[in-house]
């Protein structure tokens, strides 16, 4: 898997791009990424991921209560194991995080990363102030003929699988339950 930390290199062809922080690459994250990889094969696209080299919440606030579920190297290894060929993982800089959502879609996803099909979870947020969501993605992508697939949440034991839930379980010492949600580290 080729890992890029900026947007100076564009792919040679169109991509199926999974969007997310993908911290811990749990079962919910894998559902989004695996959908992108499967679709890339059927649509003749390059399977790709857009993430960050560190957690955006930490970069923005330095919040100590949000701890990463894995190192960047572990995240990259887990994502590569799912069949992804390209991963954009720029630093979560204030400049990038303050990019308006529509500008991110038009200028980066479509303009630089050559998105032909985008994948995200239903609760994915992006852009300045987290104002970008699946509805905005669908609206802007459709202007360019780019497809969007929004993955339904993965639910185990009646509760949505999430990084927040895994962090809570780990903080409570319930490691086996965290692993049951797809936490692999």
Q: What is the pLDDT of residue 60?
A: 57
Q: What is the pLDDT of residue 184?
A: 74
pLDDT above 80: residue 27: yes
118 in a structural domain? yes
| CATH number reported for the structural domain that contains residue 56 in this entry | 3.40.50.620
185 in a structural domain? no
Tens-digit pLDDT profile for residues 90-127: 998 888 988 999 999 999 999 999 999 999 999 999 99
Structural domain harbouring 36 = 2-180
Please compute the mean of the pLDDT values over residues 46-61 and round it to a whole number: 79
Alpha helices in 85-129 (DSSP H): 94-97, 101-103
Output phi, psi for 22, to 5 deg. 55, 40
pTM, two decimals, is 0.90
Closest C-alpha among 37, 45, 29 to residue 160: 29
Q: Are 176 and 19 in contact (CB under 8 A)?
A: no
Closest C-alpha among 112, 118, 152, 117 to residue 132: 118
151 in a structural domain? yes
How many independent structural domains does the chain possess?
A: 1
């Amino acid at each position: 898997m080729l890992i890029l930390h900026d947007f100076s290199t564009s792919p040679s062809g169109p991509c199926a791009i999974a969007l997310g922080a993908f911290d811990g690459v749990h079962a919910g994250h894998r559902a989004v990424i695996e959908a992108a990889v499967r679709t890339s094969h059927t649509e003749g696209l390059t399977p790709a991921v857009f993430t960050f080299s560190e957690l955006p919440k930490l970069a923005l606030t330095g919040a100590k209560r949000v701890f990463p579920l894995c190192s960047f190297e572990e995240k990259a290894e887990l994502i590569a194991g799912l069949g992804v060929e390209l991963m954009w993982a720029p630093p979560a800089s204030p400049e990038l995080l303050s990019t308006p959502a529509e500008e991110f879609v038009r200028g980066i996803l479509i303009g630089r990363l050559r998105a032909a099909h985008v994948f995200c979870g239903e609760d994915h947020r992006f852009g300045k102030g987290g104002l970008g969501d699946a509805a905005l993605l669908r609206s802007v992508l459709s202007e360019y003929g780019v497809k969007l697939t929004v993955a339904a949440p993965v639910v185990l034991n009646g509760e949505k699988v999430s990084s927040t839930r895994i962090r809570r379980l780990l903080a409570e010492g319930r490691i086996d339950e965290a692993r049951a949600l797809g936490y692999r580290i």
